[in-house]
A and B are shown apart, each in its own frame.
Chain A
């Protein structure tokens, strides 16, 4: 079974530029999560989807961050415009409905210059 796929793995951009991250969850997993992981810290939830519905986006900075999960499979997380403080690893995870285990992708390391 393929794991959670994320792309790109690394991204370097200038501040104020837009950036987008893509995630393909494990097949059959209804729930998809986006996490932010700062250096030396644990992951922090940004948004959780159940199928195509965002059921928890309370931690998503909506002034610059947006996410979508069209058709309830792949998801895209966007930042526009990026700020220096957005430099971090963005992790995607997925889980099967009714199960607690979350499976994480390798993440996208974003560097904002």
Chain B
């Protein structure tokens, strides 16, 4: 059972455009939703994270939108740059009273063309 479903699998955007990656989860006990960025040959690095008590969080060009009722959250990358080309993973965990295990989506390979 895949607890976190991520789409699309791959995404090609022109420089300056908006990249949008979507995730859906099933476990309503999840209370922490991070996005990780991974470059080839590197480990994942935390990009931005949100908790379900807010509907949006913005850090620079990166924004998480969170819809608790729909059990969905998304990453928006504004003014996408070639340096943003990487694989992005959404994840979820239950940090309160749970195993704190991060459950990852399958990833989205983003390519930003110059």
Q: What separation, in Å, do the CA atoms of A103 and B49 have in the docked complex?
A: 13
- B107 and A102 contacting across the interface, CB-CB below 8 Å: no
Determine if B44 is an interface residue (Cβ-Cβ < 8 Å): yes
Chain B residues, Cβ within 8 Å of A48? 99-101
Q: What separation, in Å, do the CA atoms of A43 and B45 have in the docked complex?
A: 12
Choose from A40, A42, A45, A104 the contact partner of B43 (Cβ within 8 Å): A104
Within 8 A of A (CB), among B51-79: none
Within 8 A of B (CB), among A71-107: 91, 93, 100-107
- A104 and B41 contacting across the interface, CB-CB below 8 Å: no
- B101 and A41 contacting across the interface, CB-CB below 8 Å: no
Choose from A40, A45, A101 the contact partner of B101 (Cβ within 8 Å): A45
Q: What separation, in Å, do the CA atoms of A102 and B92 have in the docked complex?
A: 12
Chain B residues, Cβ within 8 Å of A93? 43
Determine if A56 is an interface residue (Cβ-Cβ < 8 Å): yes
- B45 and A100 contacting across the interface, CB-CB below 8 Å: no
Determine if B15 is an interface residue (Cβ-Cβ < 8 Å): no
Mask of A28-48 contacts with B, CB within 8 angstroms, 1/0: 000000000000111111001
Chain B residues, Cβ within 8 Å of A41? 106-107
Mask of B80-109 contacts with A, CB within 8 angstroms, 1/0: 000000000101010100011110111100
Choose from B41, B46, B100, B101 the contact partner of A106 (Cβ within 8 Å): B41
User: Closest chain B residue to A31 by CB distance?
Assistant: B100
Tell me the minimal C-beta distance from A6 to chain B in angstroms. 8
- A106 and B42 contacting across the interface, CB-CB below 8 Å: yes
B residues with a Cβ closer than 8 A to A are 6, 32, 34, 36, 41-46, 49, 89, 91, 93, 95, 99-102, 104-107
Ranked nearest first, the 3 interchain pairs of A and B with the lowest CB-CB distance are A42-B104, A104-B43, A104-B44
